[in-house]
Structure 1
Amino acid sequence: MVFARSAALLALGGLGGLGWAAPVEVRDDTVSLDIFNRLSFFEQYAAAAYCKSNSDSNSTGTKVTCEEQNCGSVEAANTSTLIEFAHSTETDATGFATTDMTNELIVIAFRGSKSIDNWKANLDFQMEDVTFCSGCRTHSGFLESWNEVQDGVIKAVQAAQAEHPDFMVVITGHSLGGAMATIGAAALRNIDIPVDLYTYGAPKSGNDEWATFLSGTDKGESFRVVHKDDIVPTLPPSVPFLMPYAHVQPEYYITSGNKVDVTRQDVQVLADGDNGGGDIAAHLWYFNRISACDALFDLKAKRMVEDLS
């Protein structure tokens, strides 16, 4: 656990001299009601990935639930998990895929960082070439996390599509889970599976070519949600030539504070943005307390802030 704490401080503390860039160019004042509802709904699936009941590999075929009651709309749907995974070989990738019969969806959701193995993956900042698109490079640790579970996830999705060919495929996650979802979206689109991507508080996962590919593909939409003052989307730091990290655009920027209900008027669409702030509490609150099912995640994050103050 000492490594996890030190790793987090290294990742956060290393940005002190870089300064913070404010969000730029508001594309529209507020999002449409349809998009707002989708952002809110799929945040609940990302929240569900933190709940152990949804990642127990011995209980595939069960309903998606949240013991902290922070995914009510998901719990109200007729869901049945296709695959549940936790404690993958090296990176502890955790999450699930499920059918949602009520909303005619196939949803894949990944959990954020919790364990020392997650933090090792987070800090593997080096970039690797990928074949998803020309010139694309992505974060080595996030790529390894996806690679450890991709075979099972893709097989489960393809089987569900064969049974429900009209269902939309959606992939989502918070924090590290958002980075994994981003790579997963690229992988699925690369094998001609259209998929919509929803991430919350996700770090950067690749270079400009990577971000452009994911922002402009015709095989699904990409929605990257950032809460005001959340520090995680500023990571990893972009270093020209060495680590030229960039974000998928646009950014859906939540302007309201922590522990406040988010309204449609609180969400701005930014044509290009780099969230300015360093508040871990903001990382834990999106449309609700997204990591509520994992109190340990919340505690570790808060201790990071205390150590840095």
Structure 2
Amino acid sequence: MAASAYSDHPELCVKDNFNSSDFKRRVEVECDILPIDNCVAFTAVSHSEKAIIISYRGSLVTEVLMEVIDALSEKPVIAFNGNAKVLEYFLNAFNDLWFAGIKDDFLTLKNANPGYELWVTGHSLGAAMASIAATTIATTKLFDADKIKLVTFGQPRVGDHSYATLVDSTIAYSYRIIHQNDIVPTVPPSWLFNYYHHKSEVWYNNNMADGKTYKECDDDENRHCSEGAIDLNILDHLFYFNVPANFPFAGCKDWNKYKNA
């Protein structure tokens, strides 16, 4: 579902991925001073998995540049009623989408599907927004935190130590999946303004092909996982589970080999 957010028609990906599902809406907004840079998210529900889904699209090239500029030039801003600090670019992008329709659509799906879980996901910039979304929903009591599952791919550091502590204490089911030497999870650097990852990390120190092993580090930062990686590169950020992160650009028909298995 994280990769599906790259598609202009994620409803096709949702339909192909689940035996029974409903697509709610794709929301797109301008998310920085450059009009060509838009942030995207969609909402859906899988009845076969009994889960409401919020998925955030990852970064475009120019958006990555804006994220780096913001991280290097501005201190993280206070959020969550003073309980944490996060990178302002990520927070603004989340808020723009949240109030443009994602919040309303989430609440509609929640009310229509009592008892379902909430799955929140994203890749790259989308991972950062997904982290903030899950934390916002949990801390404002919009959804039972014990039924929220946050799974991200190639997530950058979203906030400082206080944010990591807040996420760790609020969302029990939280996993950051990282591909080998992916450089994006190393930014912003931890020495800058006290940026810090929240737990837990699942690190594939390989090409993530079927059957490959992984290591789980159940703390915030751990040099036994990706924090100790060398030869950092961008290519590992672009490929997760042996497919390009933006593969839905070409459509999603029949891509899910696990469906009906």
Q: Normalising by structure 1, what TM-score? A: 0.69
The 1:294/1:239 distance shift into structure 2, 3 A limit, reads: farther
Aligned with 2:235 (options 281, 285, 302): 281
Evaluate the alpha carbon distance shift between residue 262 and residue 231 of structure 1 in structure 2; reply closer, same or farther with a 3 A threshold. farther
The residue type equivalent to 2:162 in the other structure is: E
On the 8 A contact 1:121/1:144 being kept in 2, the answer is: no
| Structure 1 residues 238-257: aligned runs within 5 Å | 238-239=190-191, 243-257=193-207
1:129–1:137 CA contact under 8 A, matched in 2: yes
Q: Give the CA deviation at 1:251.
A: 0.9
Distance 1:275 1:189, change over 3 A: farther
Which amino acid in the other structure matches residue 93 of structure 1? Answer: C
- How far apart are residue 89 of structure 1 and its match? 5.2
Q: Does 1:109 align with 2:62?
A: no
| Structure 2: runs of 5 or more not aligned | 251-261
1:132 is displaced (CA, Å) by: 5.1
Q: Which residue of 2 aligns with 1:25?
A: none
For the 8 Å contact 1:121–1:145, the answer to whether it is kept is no
Deviations 1:248-276 (A, max 9, x none): 1121111222xx5142x511111332152
Q: Is 2:165 aligned against 1:209? A: no
Partners of 2:85 and 2:159 within 8 A in 1: yes
1:1-309 equivalent positions in 2, closer than 5 A: 45-54=1-10, 63-65=11-13, 75-88=17-30, 90=32, 92-114=38-60, 116-117=62-63, 119-125=65-71, 126=74, 127-131=76-80, 134=83, 136-151=84-99, 152-192=101-141, 193=143, 194=145, 195-217=148-170, 219-239=171-191, 243-257=193-207, 260-263=208-211, 266-271=213-218, 272-273=221-222, 274-277=227-230, 278-289=232-243, 290-294=245-249
8 A contact 1:64–1:80 mirrored in 2: no
State the Cα RMSD in Å. Answer: 2.2
- Percent identical pairs in the alignment equals 24
Q: Retained in 1: the 8 A contact 2:154–2:177?
A: yes
Gaps of 5+ in 1: 1-44, 55-62, 67-72, 296-309
Q: Distance in 2 between matches of 1:139 and 1:84?
A: 24
SS across alignment from 2:126: helix
Is residue 2–residue 55 contact of structure 2 (8 Å, CA) maintained in 1? yes
Change in 2 beyond 3 A, CA 1:275/1:88: farther
Aligned residue type for 1:150 = W
CA change 1:124–1:294 in 2 (3 A) is farther
Output the amino acid matched with 2:201.
E
In structure 1, C-alpha distance between the alignment counterparts of 2:249 and 2:236, rounded to whole Å: 16
8 Å contact from structure 1 (residues 254, 262) kept in 2: no
Q: 1:3 — aligned with what? A: none
Mapped partners of 1:210, 1:89: distance in 2: 22
Deviation at 1:118, TM superposition (A): 5.7
C-alpha distance 211-146 of structure 1, shift in aligned 2 (>3 A): same
**Displacement of 1:64:** 3.8
Give the residue type in structure 2 aligned to 1:203: P
Alpha-carbon distance in 2 for matches of 1:235, 1:285: 18
Give, as a single letter, the amino acid of the residue that structure 1 aligns with 2:246: S
How many residues align? The count is: 230
After TM superposition, the score normalised by the length of structure 2 is 0.80
**Partners of 2:228 and 2:44 in 1: CA distance:** 32
